[in-house]
Amino acid sequence: MRQRAQGAQGAQCMQWPPLAGVRRIAVLRPNAVGDFVFALPALHALKQAYPDACLTLVGKEWHRDFLAGRPGPVDDVAVMPPVPGVGAAPGTGGDGEAIEDFIARMREQSLDVALQMFGGGRHSNAFLQRFGARLSVGARARDAPPLDRWLPYREPVPRRLALLEIAGLAGAPPTLPPVPELALVDADRAEAAAALPPVPGERLAVLQPGASDPRRRWPAHRFAALGDRLARQGLRVAINGAPAEAALVAEVAGRMRHPAVPLAGRLGLGGLCGLLARARLLVSNDTGPLHLALALGVPSVGIFWLTNLVEGMPLRPSLLHAALSARTRCPVCGQDNVALRCPHDASFVADVGLDEVAVLAGRALDETGQAP
């Protein structure tokens, strides 16, 4: 029997106990790398509350490839086709046959709980309801259909906490995830070693100068200057980036006076995890590799723009040294970019100083006993 719909106030005022007889759980979160890491505490909480249930992540191909054979809370991945508003632009037609086939496969699982962790639910709530789960829970914006249990969607919020709160609607008490939150496998280490063979006494620092949003990128010349400072302290410096960021990685390496290893496009996601696990320090813009490093327990300096720090703060903040820009207005046109985005891609974190980041990097190394 389906649960009677609960309004936001009722959901907020109750501590929901675990459901009886839960065998299959589905979590809808077809996002990027950082978004997956944000969901890890909620996924761990669900697995702790329902250790015998099969937890399926409804996601993308990269989730399936990355999580295959990897210990953790996710038992399997259901790769969904692009759905209008859920992986495809709203109003597009999508592949109707592929969508219906996917819905049929999800219904065949006889899900006990389905959790919507993909935004405010304007499109994703209705999609999730078609799975036919005994109980549906998630976030709800004002223009979204209700689920059986829901919480109002807010922005900006600490994303990890918000997703833990959604897991609580399904009877999973909030809890700190294990350390590390993300497991390594032998293939991760082997891929990292092939791209950057370890050396005796290695003290590795990784720089991550890219970000999908150019406004979140600290200037390349600052990364280069920081890399030189780290190299002078005896650290081996590697510069990571996606294949599309090869020019940026090359620019940082080219501006440095000391040798550095450019790794743009040379590591898959697992190999990157293997490399980060070897690192004594990561210095990064607010992007996926930063949150992977935090999930792996790697001391990190993150360079954040304003509300991104609110959303990206880890549940264990002791690992993160945050450099924050409070700029709100575009340096080109002066438009406030908190509520609306102007068309310019100028950096909003360029006012974060080199000395500030260098001090934070030194503290991160000191606290782990790795400072020169």
The residue type at 50: Y
Q: What DSSP state is assigned to residue 219?
A: P
The DSSP call for residue 59 is E
Low-confidence ranges of the chain (pLDDT < 70): 1-14, 369-372
pLDDT of residue 6: 53
In the predicted model, what is the mean pLDDT of the chain?
94
CB atoms within 10 A of CB 329: 13
Measure the CA–CA gap between 184 and 178, rounded to whole angstroms. 13
Residue 207: the pLDDT is: 98
Q: Residue 32: what residue type?
A: A
Residue 98 neighbours by CB under 8 Å, 6+ apart:
81
Query: pTM value?
Result: 0.94
Task: Provide the token pair at 4.
Answer: 């009677």
The H-or-E segment that residue 290 falls in is helix 288-296
Q: From the centroid of its chain, how far is CA 262?
A: 23
